[in-house]
Amino acid sequence: MLGTSLLLAAGLLADRVLGEPARYHPLVGFGRAANWLEKRLNVGRSRLLRGAVAWALLVLPLPLLLAWALAQLPALAAGILSVAVLYFTLGRQSL
């Protein structure tokens, strides 16, 4: 519990100090990918199924990759990666 609290505090501190990335914000890239997929898959029949496929393609790979990476990395590197992920996902000072 203390470790999680420290990681969360570090993520909040990183967000406070660094603010919004000036270039290459991950959510901007995600939005572009979502728009690109929507234009190609949100047409014709079976749109619900196509939407599920788009969701699976956009949402599932990164958390699965991160979970695998966190399990493989030494504790310090996993902690640094966790803080970086928190920095990009909290967005208190960004977006």
Give the pLDDT confidence of 42-64 residue by residue, as tens digits. Answer: 888 888 999 999 999 999 998 99
Token pair, residue 75, equals: 């504790």
Average pLDDT of the residues of the chain: 86
- Residue 44 backbone class (left: φ over 0; alpha: ψ -120 to 50; beta: rest): left
In the predicted structure, residue 65 carries a pLDDT above the cut 90: yes
Among residues 23, 7, 34, the alpha carbon closest in space to that of 94 is found at: 23
Helix then strand count (H, E) for the chain reads: 5, 0
pLDDT at 95: 59
The tens digit of pLDDT for each residue in 78-93 reads: 999 999 888 888 777 6
Whether pTM > 0.85 for this model: the answer is: no
**What is the rounded average pLDDT of the residues 64-89?**
91
